[in-house]
Structure 1
């Protein structure tokens, strides 16, 4: 069972988050300021921390700085401070994700699950935590056991072919593949007249995983050669 520490000075928010997490099978510990969270982290095996920024005694920023001195557990910042500068500061100090208040509980759950999967896949979780077949680059995560794709915690719906193309490229992130190589890998047949078929599927994938498909972050075209998924 994964243990999640929820730290916020608003008891109602902590209790509400606990309800959703427990329903999903997580064990939940609660803290109401940064100092209390640090004490719990010293005594308990925590797999993920949900942390508010504005709290008494020790705020979330200073708590993140202390935690990152000796721990790499995933940290999701949950805060009413939603300005870009606040988000950037939290992420630069070592937070893994940032959710603004008010928040959608289902979105928070999706982000929690995404961070837990990445934490497990990177080999930093305790040995007792079961590992799944998860491939990722930046905020793009593919759980091949569940056939699930998420981008920044949001589930993305792909067709079978789109999924197979993206999985192949993410497994080989940083490597460039020609249209013919992609076609032969996915369709398992000679790439005769494959250009349009692969190009259309690539376009559809971009429309689903990229914030700006015309200026993609993940799925890049290398003009005259082919495509690759960026190693982030």
Structure 2
């Protein structure tokens, strides 16, 4: 993916917000398409290969949560959710269905551009890893194998489907077993957020990651350990 010419879908039922986002994003040479409701957004997202979707939470008909949930059944397109203040529980729910980031309204257009660039940069590096087979880069632990070149995670010989961000988080932790990372460090290095970001982003992704691993093996999920008051670490579990 060429980050500078990324194709972005902007979904919001307010025309002025779509127009504002289009103006700022087109200044960065991004290709912008729009949708003003959830049904249209989902149809477009499934038919097209967008590099990123900016998705309003409160939409007429199908809301942003449902759009993201249905999208994640077949696609891992990066999603930034737009939410209004006071919708904290909805934001957490958004992370649980696979949202990669959220921005609270009213927002700074400059912050949106920074978030978009950060997420595109992470997605771009992930896609490179999918196709770079010049060297075999595999992490092997009891019950868990991460093939970084193939971007594949297997638990007890069963492949586990992770979103790009879940995969990056797991690989980052597993690459340094027993090292404790603070939530701030994980936000900085996995989400690439230096000056902004919600620490709950890390917690909800860890929760979802554990749940997916635990569906196959309790041992695999137990490898992601909470260090109370500090953050998280990857700990090798031996039977």
Rounded Cα–Cα distance in structure 2 between residues aligned with 1:22 and 1:103: 17
CA distance in 2, matches of 1:36, 1:4: 15
How far apart are the structure 1 equivalents of 2:13 and 2:48? 20
The answer for the alignment partner of 1:9 in structure 2 is 13
Output the CA distance in 2 between the equivalents of 1:30 and 1:152. Answer: 29
Do the aligned residues in 1 keep the contact of 2:46 with 2:71 (CA within 8 Å)? no
Counterpart of 1:31 (choices 13, 16, 35) is 35
Task: State how 1:103-122 maps to structure 2 within 5 Å.
Answer: 103-122=107-126
- Which has the larger Rg? 1
Provide closer, same or farther for how the CA distance between residues 104 and 217 of structure 1 changes in structure 2, counting only shifts above 3 A: farther
Match for 1:140 among 173, 178, 188?
188
> Normalization by structure 2: what TM-score?
0.55
Q: CA deviation at 1:93?
A: 1.1
Residue of structure 1 equivalent to 2:59: 55
- The alpha-carbon distance between structure 1 residues 123 and 153, as it changes in their structure 2 partners (threshold 3 A), is farther
Once the two structures are superposed, the pairs formed by residues 95-106 of structure 1 within 5 Å of their partners are 95-106=99-110
* Aligned residues: CA RMSD: 2.8
Residues 8 and 50 of structure 1, relative CA distance in 2, 3 Å threshold: same
Calculate the TM-score normalised by the size of structure 1: 0.57
Aligned ranges 1:151-230 → 2 under 5 Å? 151=194, 216-217=230-231
Measure, in 1, the Cα distance between the counterparts of 2:83 and 2:21: 13
CA deviation string 1:152-186 (max 9, x = no partner)? 767xxxxxxxxxxxxxxxxxxxxxxxxxxxxxxxx
Q: Secondary structure at the match of 2:80?
A: strand
Q: Structure 1 stretches of 5 or more lacking a match?
A: 128-134, 144-148, 155-214, 219-229
**Structure 2 residue 83 is matched with structure 1 residue 79:** yes
